Amino acid sequence: MRKTATTPPATGQRIPAQPGPRGVPLGMLVPPAQTAVEDVMAGTVSADTGEQAGHGAVIPGAGPATRPGERATVRLRDVGPDDPPRYAPEWLELREGADAVARAPELLDPLRIRLANLPGKSGVVIHDLGCGTGSMGRWLAPRLDGAQHWILHDRDPYLLHFAAVASPRAAADGSRVTVETRRGDVARLTPDALVGASLVTASALLDVLTREEVDALVTACVGAGCPALLTLSVAGRVELTPAHPMDAEIADAFNAHQRRDGLLGPDAVTVTCEAFAAHGATVRVHPSAWRLGPDDLALTAEWLRGWVGAAVEERPELKERADRYLRDRLAACAAGELTVLVHHSDLLALARPTGGAS
């Protein structure tokens, strides 16, 4: 969970309060007047113009239709039709401004140099893993020059729908940005998922993966010879001012919750760095903390509820004291008397290129 005054998505699109009934085709969730949106999601036009899309038919939330003999590059976990989204869209919207401020711009120059040296390419293909509502694309696409084709991966078709509709239309130099969606669980990335990729991105993803899933991600990136920009991974450190005697106890319980079922949690960045380095990649890490204060009351309150709630779920014996702690912290937040520093890390891995790029 992650910071500063929140702003809506750059395109002005708003996330609807409810995703609508699950299992209903995405086109039925769009008012008839928005036929252009339906066309984008159906793949009959690109995301930024009325031209015919050049990357194959894009099925809502599913990606290009496969041909006989082809297999999916991202497998779905075994989930039922009523499986809830992994992340509430309202939470993703609330935190988008904080994420944008926190991400480390210091990692962009080495990334730009790598992308500029790609051989024989008129544009880049960017895979955004666990894209949610598409905040990474809205942050990064306007900061990179040149034509970009974004391939958005997520397990939730509603989030994919919004991510496609609210995607940027232009790069930093005005070049075209197009988008397609692929529904699947990125925790089960297959080795050939990233063939042809120029860049892999993700936000707040590494800490919800296992070591095996990180190894699969790293192997796919190295196999494609493409860099990876993996942002906003939890670092396991939180600083609240003024301090409270229970701060450390809640933080320890939350970190233990993050490591449930073999998930890496706060260890994710270290494990990922080691995995990339073992393949000869150059890895850079930069802090990307949220700095929450009086201008971030809604986000701070929601973060507090989730942080304390996870701690109590991990250690139920904390509940009575944690309830009092949360009431006190929420009161201080509402009064503008609480600041929170939530530490995260951004990681840029530059794998050895496979096509002669320097």
Residue-wise pLDDT for 266-312, tens only, equals: 999 999 999 999 999 999 999 999 999 999 999 999 999 999 999 99
> What whole-number distance in Å separates Cα of residue 264 and Cα of residue 271?
8
Residue 185, pLDDT score:
79
The chain-wide mean pLDDT, for the chain, equals: 80
Residue-wise pLDDT for 19-78, tens only, equals: 332 332 222 222 222 323 333 333 323 343 333 333 333 222 222 223 333 333 333 333
> Quick check: 101 pLDDT over 60?
yes
> What whole-number distance in Å separates Cα of residue 40 and Cα of residue 243?
50
Q: Where would I find the beta strands (DSSP E) of 109-206? A: 123-129, 147-154, 177-183, 199-203
The more confidently predicted of residues 33 and 131 is 131
- What distances in angstroms separate CA 349 from CA 187, 257, 299, one per listed residue? 19, 27, 30
Average pLDDT for 186-192: 74
Helix (H) or strand (E) holding 283: strand 282-287
Question: In which band, very low, low, confident or very high, does the pLDDT at 354 lie, cut at 50, 70 and 90?
Answer: confident
277 phi and psi, to 5 degrees?
-60, -35
Apex CA 257: angle with CA 255 and CA 262, to 5°? 100
- Asked if residue 185 lies in contact with residue 156, where contact means CB atoms within 8 angstroms, the answer is no
Residue 20, pLDDT score:
30
Q: Which residue has the tokens 């600083």?
A: 239
Residue 193, pLDDT score:
83
Residue-wise pLDDT for 148-160, tens only, equals: 999 999 999 999 9
Among residues 227, 171, 204, which one has the least CA distance to residue 102? Answer: 204
Residue 165, pLDDT score:
93
Residue-wise pLDDT for 240-268, tens only, equals: 999 999 999 999 999 999 999 999 999 99
Residue 355, pLDDT score:
60
Residue-wise pLDDT for 204-243, tens only, equals: 999 999 999 999 999 999 999 999 999 999 999 999 999 9
DSSP label at 86? Answer: S
Residue 59, pLDDT score:
27
- Asked if residue 141 lies in contact with residue 115, where contact means CB atoms within 8 angstroms, the answer is no
> What whole-number distance in Å separates Cα of residue 236 and Cα of residue 126?
29
Question: In which band, very low, low, confident or very high, does the pLDDT at 14 lie, cut at 50, 70 and 90?
Answer: very low
**Domains of the chain as residue ranges with CATH:** 26-64+80-350 (3.40.50.150)
Average pLDDT for 4-29: 34
Residue-wise pLDDT for 305-327, tens only, equals: 999 999 999 999 999 999 999 99
- Exposed, middle or buried by CB within 10 Å (0-12, 13-18, 19+), for 286? middle
pTM of the predicted protein model? 0.78
